Structure 1
């Protein structure tokens, strides 16, 4: 997949293409449906499919006080775009100046660069200064410029709204299975394994301490995770603790994963943790022995859940 990081007015002319637009935080199930529809139409028309997105997230620039905790890194978004059949991803740098563009000015530059044969957007898509542009704006523009506009209502399987905000709310409650249903895949943290305080090793349960890259974390607690580490074999079960280790009067937030039956050194390795199931919330134990006993129970419960659901 070709990737652009051009400002709007600096992009080369590459059209005609079938184009989809959006922030795509999380690239949830509705986003994927939209991307697949655009890719399918591009193949049917003998054209390339392009996705136009923005970085940083617009609220970082226009309303930093209410910026969301992002679900994905840009690298994760780009990988998801490629997996759904995009041939080109145009990441437009979002700035204060860009936010002041009128919808008409944005569409003029979009047409110059991509010459869209079709546009595919979510039904609630808004763009341009003060979000003045909407689907009606696109449809009127499309009619004037021989560009068909397709819209998709982003609805969850339960009939409720399908949005990145709803996914964040589920993760804030520790409901990782509900988040996975909305995403269409388990929520994942990625990063490099760094050295921790080695308390897990002293307890008999060594852990990989993740320097995570995402902004959104699941609620504090213990989770069954699927751990993927390049060059270390197949994905394996992990028990991941998100929290501050209150038994040890911890004040620093950590993401630590115990990999039962794993022997090896993961320091410096890239790790992906997919959150599958929450076992319990974070708790403070009266003694180290009580904590060790609970971890033994967590491992047993994690193995049982994994055998029943991942076997």
Structure 2
């Protein structure tokens, strides 16, 4: 997959694609429906399939101090998009210039002159331009004047009782620790990725060394203990593990992070990139009276995670 990080510098060879446009945070089933529709159009027209995403996410631009909310890192997104048949990724820098463009200026400057779009596909709730003045109808009108076709895609959901598959709905499920429903909406387990850092190494004293990973701008799930699987970058093996998410109140921690203990594993993986996928919620975060009481609970949690994961 080719990645273009500046719409003002896309060569002619990187233009004339069918582009699914949006934020695509999580690449959930709703996003996949939009991409699949765009793929059909691209195949019919004999054109490349591209995704256009805004970076940083507009929410981060308008509210830089808001709590972390992303469902997926850019690294994870770049890994999954080719699996969906995407040929190109356009990263559209969301800055003050873009914010102040009218809907027509955005179509002319970014989509027409910058990306040379042949066909644009968006969800029916897509909004763009200064003060979000642009909608599907204005997008279609401005694009038609420039020879760009436009298609819309309605929200996709399980059925009317459960609502659409959306990033907001997935975040809500994760806040409740409902990683099963989140995985269903995503079509894959929710995954946190990052570099393993050195911690206080208290887990080693009780036979439970952990791989410590920061959340960065990824949202925080419900704090507590989960059955997870961990994959070291460059390997194909998903290793069963038990993980704690939270601030570690028993040892007076303050920073929210993920600590995963990999079962039957004793390699040093400090400094390596890992992916941690969430399989099942075990219990909420607690503050224990002492580290000894916490250690006893960790052993129970590990047995529970082994049972859930079938890890012996």
- What TM-score comes out, normalization by structure 2 length? 0.90
Distance 1:98 1:69 in 2: 22
Partner of 1:173: 176
Task: Tell me how far 1:138 sits from its aligned partner.
Answer: 2.2
| C-alpha contact 2:231 2:239 (8 A) present in aligned 1 | yes
Q: Unpaired segments of 5 or more residues in structure 2?
A: none
Deviation of the 1:96 alpha carbon: 1.0
Deviation for aligned residue 1:272: 0.5
- The match for 2:126 is 125
Indicate the residue corresponding to 2:295 in structure 1. Answer: 292
Give the deviation of 1:232 after TM superposition. 5.7
User: CA offset at residue 122 of structure 1?
Assistant: 0.5
Structure 2: distance between partners of 1:245 and 1:113? 48
2:107–2:143 contact (8 Å) kept in structure 1: no
Aligned-pair CA distance for 1:216: 0.8
In structure 2, C-alpha distance between the alignment counterparts of 1:230 and 1:16, rounded to whole Å: 34
Kept in 2: contact 1:62–1:99 (CA 8 A): no
Query: By how many angstroms is 1:15 displaced?
Result: 3.7
Could you say if the C-alpha distance between residues 96 and 113 of structure 1 is closer, same or farther in structure 2, counting changes exceeding 3 Å?
closer
Distance 1:15 1:193, change over 3 A: closer
Q: Which runs of no fewer than 5 residues in structure 1 stay unpaired?
A: none
3-state DSSP of counterpart to 1:194: coil
Query: For residues 232 and 38 of structure 1, do their structure 2 counterparts lie closer, same or farther at Cα, with a shift above 3 Å needed?
Result: closer
Residue aligning to 1:76:
76
Deviations along 1:143-183, whole A, 9 cap, x unmatched?
A: 44444322112232143133212222222222222221222
* Matched residue SS, 1:116: coil
Matches within 5 A, 1:41-190: 41-64=41-64, 69-109=69-109, 110-159=111-160, 160-190=163-193
TM-aligned CA distance change 1:68 to 1:231, over 3 Å: closer
| Displacement after TM superposition at 1:197 (Å) | 0.6
Identify the residue that residue 254 of structure 1 maps to in structure 2: 257
Q: What per-residue deviation string (whole Å, max 9, x for no partner) do you get for residues 201-237 of structure 1?
A: 1122111111344421211100011111135662111
Q: Which moved more, 1:266-275 or 1:286-295?
A: 286-295
Moved more, 233-242 or 70-79: 70-79
The answer to whether the 8 Å contact 2:29/2:156 transfers is: no
Deviations along 1:233-275, one digit per CA (max 9) or x if unpaired, are 6211110101122222333323111111112111111111001
Residue equivalent to 1:26: 26
Question: What displacement does 1:200 show?
Answer: 0.8
Under a length normalisation based on structure 1, what TM-score does the superposition of the two structures give? 0.91
Q: Is the CA contact 2:170–2:185 (under 8 Å) kept in the aligned structure 1?
A: yes
Secondary structure of 1:101's aligned partner: coil
| Structure 2 CA distance for aligned equivalents of residues 82 and 300 of structure 1 | 37
Indicate how the Cα distance of structure 1 residues 227 and 35 shifts in structure 2: closer, same or farther if over 3 A, else same.
same
Judge which range, 120-129 or 150-159, deviates more. Answer: 150-159
| Cα distance in 2, alignment partners of residues 260 and 79 from structure 1 | 26
The 5 A counterparts of 1:157-236 are 157-159=158-160, 160-230=163-233, 234-236=237-239
